């Protein structure tokens, strides 16, 4: 069992929902330049409010990885995220959203229980840190880097290529002794993908589970994909479309949704769960 601020969670329950709805991972962007303006410069009070609204995880990131973004220094990223991790880990499970092993290590020391790596553990030192620390990990697929990823991304078979890459890394972790139930896979919607790629990945999600049945995380909230489908250029106008993804995710048994709007997603999931329960 894991203890978070007096609340205990089984290892399995950290990444797999027990309630019939996806777990909700709230987004804290401790950045001045994330793509969704309302999510920028997140702080302690915002994180506490996310837990109160129904978040199962709070994901803290100090470096924007929006298309075209540039890296920041390790020192700046540490200064942005570690105080938040130290405080918010008293209230519930914290995930650290970073591709830098130094930041991940400091966050784990400060109380984080998951590494959410948008680069998919490309850095061997990050791979080793997951094994050494024994924390949960989200392995995300990204083609190229944030600076280059949306410059004409190409796949011959996006589901096959993404699932092959993610499963290869996940299976290496398991073979090295990391518990399968502490691994979740994220197809990386919008990270080196066009709209058609994103839709194919959401529709073909089962290929990512592998024979092992890995947990799946989707991060689609307010992204460009929603804007393209709904003709909404401003991310502020994409909540309704994001809830459409949430409905599909709940019907298909997706394990975790990474979201900006926790209360709205929690309420939506509660109604869906009740109606689906009655339907049975």
What tokens appear for 210 in the block? 């592998």
What mean pLDDT is predicted for residues 105-112? 97
CB contact at 8 A, 226 and 202: no
Confidence category of residue 41, pLDDT binned at 50, 70, 90: low
Average pLDDT of the segment spanning 148-176? 91
| Residue 205: pLDDT over 50 | yes
Residue 57, CB-side half-sphere exposure with 13 Å CA sphere: 32
- Residue given tokens 């489908």 in the structure block: 229
Chain segment 55-89, per-residue pLDDT in tens: 999 999 998 776 666 788 999 999 999 999 999 99
User: What are the residues whose beta carbons fall under 8 Å from the beta carbon of 210, sequence distance 6 or more?
Assistant: 163, 167, 170, 171
- C-alpha dihedral, 178 to 192 to 247 to 271, nearest 10°: 70
Q: Computed from CA positions of residues 74, 24, 37, 196, in that sequence, does the dihedral angle turn out positive or negative? A: positive
Residue 1: strand, helix, or coil: coil
Identify the pLDDT of residue 91. Answer: 94
Domain residue spans of the chain? 2-279
Is residue 93 within 8 A of residue 57, CB to CB? The reply is yes
Q: Give the pair of three-digit tokens for residue 57.
A: 């995880």
Tell me if residue 162 falls in helix, strand or coil.
helix
Segment among 7-16, 207-216, 236-245 with least mean pLDDT: 7-16
Contact 180, 212 (CB under 8 A): yes
Per the listing, tokens 């949960």 go with: 136
CATH architecture of 2-279: Alpha-Beta Barrel (3.20)
Neighbouring CB atoms inside 10 A of 30's CB total 25
| Burial of 218: CB neighbours in 10 Å, binned 0-12, 13-18, 19+ | buried
Closest CA to 272 of 23, 53, 20, 57: 20
d(CA 68, CA 71): 10
What is the rounded distance in angstroms from the CA atom of residue 187 to the CA atom of residue 53?
26
Residues taking part in catalysis = 223, 258
Output the pLDDT for position 7: 42
The DSSP code sequence of 100-149 is -HHHHHHHHHHT--EEEETT-S-SHHHHHHHHHH--EEEEE--SS-TTTT
Pairwise pLDDT comparison (146 vs 160), residue with the higher score = 160
pLDDT digits (tens, 9 = 90+) for 207-232: 999 999 999 999 999 999 999 999 99
How much is the pLDDT for 17? Answer: 78
Q: Which pLDDT band, with edges at 50, 70 and 90, does 1 fall under?
A: very low
Q: What is the pLDDT of residue 278?
A: 59
* Residue 12 pLDDT > 90: no
pLDDT band at 166 (very low <50, low <70, confident <90, very high): very high
Q: What is the pLDDT of residues 175-204, one digit of tens each?
A: 999 999 999 999 999 999 999 999 999 999
């Amino acid at each position: 069992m894991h203890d978070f601020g007096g609340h205990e969670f089984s290892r399995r329950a950290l990444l797999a929902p027990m309630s019939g709805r996806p777990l909700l991972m709230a987004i804290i962007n401790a950045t001045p330049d994330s793509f969704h303006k309302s999510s920028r410069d997140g702080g302690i009070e915002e994180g506490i409010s996310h837990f109160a609204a129904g978040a199962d995880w709070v994901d803290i990131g100090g470096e924007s990885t929006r298309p075209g973004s540039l890296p920041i220094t390790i020192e700046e990223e540490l200064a942005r995220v570690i105080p938040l991790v130290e405080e918010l880990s008293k209230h519930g499970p914290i995930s650290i959203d970073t591709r830098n092993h130094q930041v991940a290590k400091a966050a784990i020391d400060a109380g984080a229980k998951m590494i959410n790596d948008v680069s998919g553990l490309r850095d061997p030192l990050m791979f080793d840190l997951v094994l050494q620390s024994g924390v949960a990990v989200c392995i995300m697929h990204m083609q190229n880097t944030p600076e280059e990823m949306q410059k004409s991304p190409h796949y011959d078979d996006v589901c096959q290529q993404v699932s092959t890459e993610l499963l290869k890394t996940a299976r290496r972790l398991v073979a090295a002794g990391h518990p399968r139930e502490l691994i979740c896979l994220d197809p990386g919607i919008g990270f080196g993908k066009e709209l058609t790629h994103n839709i194919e990945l959401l529709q073909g999600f089962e290929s990512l589970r592998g024979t092992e049945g890995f947990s799946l995380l989707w991060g689609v909230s307010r992204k460009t994909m929603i804007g393209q489908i709904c003709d909404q250029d401003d991310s502020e106008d994409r909540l309704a479309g994001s809830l459409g993804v949430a409905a599909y995710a709940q019907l298909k048994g997706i394990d975790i949704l990474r979201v900006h709007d926790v209360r709205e997603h929690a309420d939506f999931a509660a109604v869906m769960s009740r109606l689906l329960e009655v339907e049975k």
